[in-house]
Amino acid sequence: MTIAWEAVGRTDTGRTRRGNEDAFRIAVEKGVFLVADGMGGHAAGEVASQLAADAAIESLSRSDLSGPADIEEGLRTGFREAYRSIVDHSRENAAVTGMGTTLTIAVVSPSGSLHVGHLGDSRIYQLSGDTLKQLTHDHTWVQQEVDAGRIAAEAARTHPLSHILTKVLTADEPPKPDIEVGSVKPRDCLLLCSDGLYNMVDAQVLLDLLRQDRSVSETTQILVEEANRSGGADNITVVVVGIRA
């Protein structure tokens, strides 16, 4: 069986931030989708996310993504190109030294394979039937403590140190992204998002919103509206990918 897909992304400053340090990119014809959430002073976060997003999508758009090994190599190359873009810009602009960004990428193929590359705490969820599964593992201090059993999972979202990242894309060292492989089928849905969505909207509400019979465009709009309605404490970015036969 061969699958197809449609995708729409949306980003919003939220209700409390003055600027937007998030970015997303979509290359529908290649089945490549990504979200980046930047960090750093003097607007450096916005620069980092845009640089990384541009470099990664350009690299993957040029890559041969015809087989599993090709896709994995394409993902790793995309992360390396994003890293190089940040290194080069940091060398030329002292004001943005120390900037960084999350980078979370999904690659879907007509065969139904799904490859995920991930650094940071942006997330990818997969809706399949009535089940919403988080495919990425947050690279945060709080998640480390949850994994070690020192913090309850229910307390992680509101923990005062939830913003501390343990892995992120910066100029300091070459990236070592998590690479995961899965599959999708018709009627599944992928959600890529920054923490400005999932910190405002809990998993049960995400599930309820995603499984409603709406277009991907309507769904992205409703997700952003729900995050703002719940406080909009950060920039909000979502990419919704609908899988069809």
Residue 42 in this model has a pLDDT that exceeds 70 = no
Write down the CATH number for the domain with range 4-244.
3.60.40.10
Distance CA 34, CA 123 (A): 10
In degrees and rounded to multiples of 5, residue 164 shows phi and psi of: -80, 120
> Which residues neighbour 230 within 8 Å (Cβ) at sequence distance 6 or greater?
200, 201
Identify the residue whose tokens are 């899988």: 243
pLDDT of residue 4: 97
The rounded mean pLDDT for the chain is: 95
pLDDT of residue 41: 66
> Per residue in 120-148, pLDDT tens?
999 999 999 999 999 999 999 998 988 89
**pTM attached to this predicted model:** 0.96
| Residue ranges per structural domain of the chain | 4-244
Amino acid at 16: T
> Per residue in 179-195, pLDDT tens?
999 999 999 999 999 99
pLDDT of residue 137: 96
Residue 210 in this model has a pLDDT that exceeds 90 = yes
Distance CA 225, CA 228 (A): 5
